[in-house]
Amino acid sequence: MSDARDERRIPLPVLGGVSRRTALKGAGAALGLAAFGAAISPLAHFAENTSLDEFLQKHYKELNEEDKRAIFARLEAETKERYGADVRVRDPQPIPGVRFGYAINLSLCNGNGRCVEACHRENNHDRDANQSYIRVFEMPKGTTDLAHGNASYEHDVPQEGKYYLPVQCFQCENPPCVDVCPVEATWQEEDGIVVVDYNWCIGCRYCQAACPYHARRFNWKEPEIPAEEINPDQGYLSNRIRPAGVVEKCHFCLHRTREGRMPACLEACPTGARLFGNLLDPDSDIRWVLANKRCFVLKEELGARPTLFYFFD
Amino acid sequence: MRWKAGRGLIDLSTPAACGGPVPAALSMSDPIRRIMVVLLVGVLAAAGALLVSATPHAGTIDPAIIDTRAAAPIAPLASASRPDREAALAAARAAFDRSPASAPRIETNLVDDLGRAVTVSCASCHANLEPDANTNHAADLIDFHEGLEYEHGSLSCLSCHHAEDYNALRLTDGLAIDFASVQRLCAQCHAPQARDYERSAHGGMMGFWDARRGEAVRKSCIDCHDPHAPAMPAMVPTFRPHDRFLAAPSESEHGDDE
């Protein structure tokens, strides 16, 4: 190309004496700025819904008692403001010498789904999504491959030739979901429960992809719950109302179980198929079951070592 | 293509675009660096906007709430006395004998002068009736127990009800036991269930898993099973979560990959 051609200016009616190249550059830069602005616009939305305190909040493990009091008070105030419900956010700690185990008697489970509903209510799930940490699969006898299961059955239970397999977080001893979290927003506690700091989670959902059991859930939107249905007994790491855009999971109802009570799903089970206890107590019922029943876990070959066991009798 | 040093950015950043003259240090020839500068300006502007919009929320927490909170200690646990397995078992055995409290009373659909429902004990009628050991179908009950649903193997009424004392139950050896001990009666035939029940593997758990903190409670056999028709009835499942993993597997997709 010749210099003369480069220097040629094409008169444009709007831009007057500006060269086409300059005009294109200007348009490109304006488009770039606009695209960038659009890309970061969720940040502005984020700022609307996030107080500075929340934005600056530290990781759960770095919080002292005073920090926690302020944070819990803030969460309670926010729940009051957004939902009109008086709740109590607490932070029960693991009991020394306790490692939780769960067992489900598949010979008794008839797939009635009361556990699913109890979890939904106990853990303040979004009413619209009907979300729950438990899925009950209707399985053809002879396989434990979840691909053959159907969790959306609506007919009477039990059906001939089927068994029912409730699946929730197994609180694995070697949890793959924890390894992949890029910000350490999820970890395993002393009593074996894998928890999530909902205020630290960035919502990348790597953990969801890593879990071989589809046990984690993503909170697609801010939960909608009528004030009178909100469970006021809340734990910071368990059933407090989660913000939108974070991952959540079963936590063995730690706000109940760390005070000696049973998980909500167990209390709701009308067939008595569920069994909960301390794996470190050799006299516990769960240890008797492990020693005397033929227990198994799902996808044992993956080496995640679940602490929720199934058995038939 | 040839780029003219010092031209383009100045042209781009005329006052209309950036609001002022651009420092000489930013007047660079490399287009990529120019874009970087534009992005940097954007990021700074966004960060500024974020801070400005976030700041008004900083004081939303009323300090009084925190103070109230500090004054309200977490309530102590129900009972945290001592770890004692025997105590827990004793409590569970107490639950074992919990239900029913006494021999059942039969409703008569009558009310007395004070408006209370009139009930009678089994013996009110059966003390004057000759027991029939051959009655083992609900259809045979034509007088009073008509319509009773009965589906419990080949047992007859008098397998469990005591022929000489209708306010008691009968063990297989003929011993009369009260209704409160119904689990002893069931356990005669259902020994594996009774064994599992002792260790919570049948019959479920209620109350506390931790004996240090509260009592374990277990249901009685007849809380879940109707003694006359003990099979667990068919149930209607609760709602299903709306979940993308919940679609029923299609037969073509999973039917023949065994």
Lowest mean pLDDT among A60-69, A251-260, B39-48: B39-48
Return the H-helix or E-strand segment holding A9.
Answer: none
ipTM of predicted assembly, 2 dp: 0.76
Task: State pLDDT tens for residues A234-270.
Answer: 999 999 999 999 999 999 999 999 999 999 999 999 8
- What's the pLDDT score for residue B61? 38
B35: in domain: yes
Class of residue A235 by CB neighbours under 10 A (exposed 0-12, middle 13-18, buried 19+): buried
**Could you tell me if B192 and B117 lie in one domain?**
yes
Across the range A196-221, mean pLDDT stands at 94
Q: How far apart are CA A114 and CA A119, in angstroms?
A: 9
Lowest mean pLDDT among A203-207, A218-222, B32-36, B231-235: B32-36
**Could you tell me if B100 and B42 lie in one domain?**
no
**Could you tell me if B144 and B219 lie in one domain?**
yes
Q: How many domains does chain B have?
A: 2
Highest mean pLDDT: which range of B12-26, B86-100, B154-168: B154-168
Give the percent of chain A with pLDDT over 90.
Answer: 81
B215: in domain: yes
Answer yes or no: is pLDDT of B25 > 80: no
- What's the pLDDT score for residue B157? 87
B254: in domain: no
Give every CB contact of residue A182 below 8 A, 6+ residues apart in sequence: A202, A204, A206
CB contact (8 A) between residue A36 and residue B248 = no
The DSSP string of B162-225 is -SS-TTSEE-TTS-EE-GGGHHHHHHHH-HHHHHHHHTTSSS--EEBS-TTTS-EE---HHHHS
And the tokens for B10? 């100045």
**Could you tell me if B193 and B89 lie in one domain?**
yes
CB contact (8 A) between residue B237 and residue A153 = yes
Highest mean pLDDT: which range of A19-33, A179-193, B82-96, B108-122: A179-193
B220: in domain: yes
**Could you tell me if B52 and B89 lie in one domain?**
no
**Could you tell me if B146 and B205 lie in one domain?**
yes
CB contact (8 A) between residue A156 and residue B234 = yes
Inter-residue contact A223 to A279 (CB < 8 Å)? no
Select the more confidently predicted residue: B94 or A208: A208
Give the percent of chain B with pLDDT over 70.
Answer: 53
Q: Residue B240 — φ and ψ, nearest 5°? A: -100, 140
B232: in domain: no
**Could you tell me if B22 and B92 lie in one domain?**
no
The confidence band for B42, taking pLDDT boundaries of 50, 70 and 90, is low
B230: in domain: no
**Could you tell me if B52 and B99 lie in one domain?**
no
**Could you tell me if B105 and B16 lie in one domain?**
no
Inter-residue contact A119 to A269 (CB < 8 Å)? no
DSSP letter at A261? B
Interface test with A, best of B210, B226, B246 (most A CBs within 10 A): B210
Lowest mean pLDDT among A129-138, B129-138, B226-235, B239-248: B239-248
Contact list in B for residue A261 (CB cut-off 8 A) is 207-209, 213-214
CB contact (8 A) between residue B49 and residue A44 = yes
Q: Which of A42, A204, A245, A243 is nearest to B50 (CA)?
A: A42
Inter-residue contact B218 to B206 (CB < 8 Å)? yes
Class of residue A199 by CB neighbours under 10 A (exposed 0-12, middle 13-18, buried 19+): buried
CB contact (8 A) between residue B214 and residue A261 = yes
Across the range B3-8, mean pLDDT stands at 40
Chains A–B, number of C-beta pairs less than 8 Å apart: 206
The confidence band for B167, taking pLDDT boundaries of 50, 70 and 90, is confident
Instruction: Identify the closest residue of chain A to B48 by CA–CA distance.
Output: A44
Q: How far apart are CA B57 and CA A23, in angstroms?
A: 42
Q: How far apart are CA B9 and CA B28, in angstroms?
A: 7
And the tokens for A140? 């053809």
Q: How far apart are CA A250 and CA A248, in angstroms?
A: 7
Return the H-helix or E-strand segment holding A7.
Answer: helix A3-7
- What's the pLDDT score for residue B45? 64
Across the range A17-24, mean pLDDT stands at 84
B89: in domain: yes
Q: How far apart are CA A1 and CA B1, in angstroms?
A: 8
**Could you tell me if B109 and B13 lie in one domain?**
no
**Could you tell me if B199 and B113 lie in one domain?**
yes
Answer yes or no: is pLDDT of B58 > 70: no
Q: Which of A236, A61, A119, A95 is nearest to B77 (CA)?
A: A95
Q: How far apart are CA A98 and CA B65, in angstroms?
A: 34
- What's the pLDDT score for residue A129? 84
Task: State pLDDT tens for residues A140-167.
Answer: 999 999 999 988 888 998 999 999 999 9
B126: in domain: yes
CB contact (8 A) between residue B12 and residue A22 = yes
The torsion defined by the Cα of A242, A248, A249 and A250, in degrees rounded to 10, comes to -10
Inter-residue contact A131 to B243 (CB < 8 Å)? yes
And the tokens for A273? 């198929």
Task: State pLDDT tens for residues A41-57.
Answer: 877 766 666 777 888 88
B213 touches chain A (CB under 8 A): yes
- Alpha-carbon distance values, A80 to A119, A227, B44 (Å): 22, 9, 35
Q: Report the side by side order of strands in the sheet with A308-312.
A: A274-278, A100-105, A308-312, A294-296
CB contact (8 A) between residue B219 and residue A272 = yes
**Could you tell me if B192 and B89 lie in one domain?**
yes
Per the structure, the complete domain to which residue B27 belongs is given by: 8-56
- Residue among A114, A130, A148 whose CB faces B242 most closely: A130
- Alpha-carbon distance values, A119 to A105, A212, A300 (Å): 19, 21, 26
Task: State pLDDT tens for residues B83-141.
Answer: 344 554 455 444 444 456 677 777 778 888 888 888 888 888 888 888 877 777 777 77
